[in-house]
Amino acid sequence: MEDNDSFINSPRIKENSDLLHEIGVLAHIEALERYIYNYKKLLIRGFNIFNHTTIDEIMDATVRQISEQFLPSFIAFIWKPIQTRENIAMKAYKDFEPIEIDLNIDCITPFEAFFKQYPKPIQFELLAYQIDNDEAVKPYLDINTEIAVPILGPFGLYGIILVGKKTLEEGYSYDELFFLQQLLAFVSQAIKNYLHYDHSLHDVKTGLYNHGFFMTRLNEEVTRTKRGDYHSSIIVLDVDKFKNFNDSYGHLAGDRVLEHIAQMIRSCVRADDIPSRFGGEEFTVLLPNTNNNTVWNVAERLRNSVAKMHVPWDVPLSQVTISLGIYTFDGKSDIDVPDIIRRADEALYVSKKSGRNRSTAWSPEMSNPHSTEESSTETTNNTLPEAS
């Protein structure tokens, strides 16, 4: 700006100001200044959005940035939390606040081919015309969607950002549309980056955390218990006779069983717990700040829920059951992560040897291979033994 002021105020410019005005040079410079200023503001807003690390924070920041320019009737975010599935999540805002929005859709697949070919923001009426699928576009038209912005990545269409009509004026100006297109390009990239990171932590088949993330969190929790002197617990569980599902009904049926067990695990644990697919048909749950009585109740609730679970399939599947091993540790336990997992596995082994479909909490006798049968008779799905 200082260089520009020097240019404008130079003697020769002043001498020829009438001519420069007449041929439009000064007006052009002024327009360029506004253009550069607006781009600087846009970059600042974009970087503000990139500074947030969760999808909720990204969406909240986006709404604030847009609402400082003008007030849409709503802003809605639709995305696929697991890219290999059609299931979608949705969050909408009005007047800066989250709202429930009546958008009765269950997938965004009808828009994928178009956005792959034309990966840019578009006015929704034009998109509806191009899609030529009345059933797919009707829910969006019913809520007066004005603009649709794709979130695209290597796996296709990750989501769509919807912007409603303006609240106080007729329509969006060219400058406002340009601002929306540029800002939402930042937003789309930020959400895509978050989803890529989130996907790297999760098992593709079940949507639970993967083995690597579980081990990282378990190591962190062991360190925390030593500093904070409190109990934490893990559950290791295994699907009983899982091979029979694959052999009798096919591997796709086995996959369906794993997916339903994952859903049941999520419904039985807290938001701060770490449910993961450890590998194959084995799952683990880390329960921070949880003593042996509480983890036992969680394990039994999960075991009973799975035993009552119905898995829909072309032909009726055998009833699914699981066996569970439990171990509780605290800051006074001089034990490392491999030993924690080994002890939970030992308890799981007792559950399997005792007839399956039961929970077992680890006890010191289990580390003695000669006492396994004795321990298995003492630990049933109705008895909680003393745990360390």
| Span 251-281, pLDDT tens digits | 999 999 999 999 999 999 999 999 999 989 9
> Start-end ranges of CATH 3.30.450.40 in the chain?
52-200
Q: Look at residue 43 and tell me whether its pLDDT is greater than 90.
A: no
> What is the tens place of the pLDDT at every residue in 167-215?
876 778 887 778 877 887 888 888 888 888 888 899 988 989 999 999 9
Write the CB contacts of 247 (distance below 8 Å, at least 6 apart in sequence): none
Dihedral in degrees, nearest 10, Cα atoms 354, 357, 363, 367: 60
Q: Is 70 exceeded by the pLDDT of residue 369?
A: no
Rounded mean pLDDT of 361-385?
Answer: 53
Q: Per residue in 352-366, is it b (16+ CB within 10 Å) or e — as a string?
A: bebeebbbbbbbebb
Q: pLDDT-derived band of residue 227, with 50, 70 and 90 as boundaries?
A: confident
Architecture of domain 52-200 in this structure: 2-Layer Sandwich (3.30)
Q: Is the entire prediction scored with pTM above 0.75?
A: no
pLDDT attached to residue 199: 83
**Listed residue (142, 186, 252, 162) closest to 46, CA to CA:** 186
Cβ–Cβ < 8 Å for 79, 86: no
Residues of the chain with CATH 3.30.70.270: 211-378
Mean pLDDT, all residues of the chain: 84
Is the pLDDT at 132 greater than 50? The verdict is yes
H helix intervals, the chain:
2-8, 11-15, 17-23, 25-50, 55-67, 112-117, 124-131, 134-142, 174-200, 211-228, 242-249, 251-268, 292-307, 337-353, 372-378
Give the long-range contacts of residues 94-97, CB within 8 A, separation 24 or more: 95/71, 96/63, 96/64, 96/67
Higher pLDDT, 65 or 21: 65
211-378 maps to CATH 3.30.70.270: yes
Region 362-370: mean pLDDT is: 70
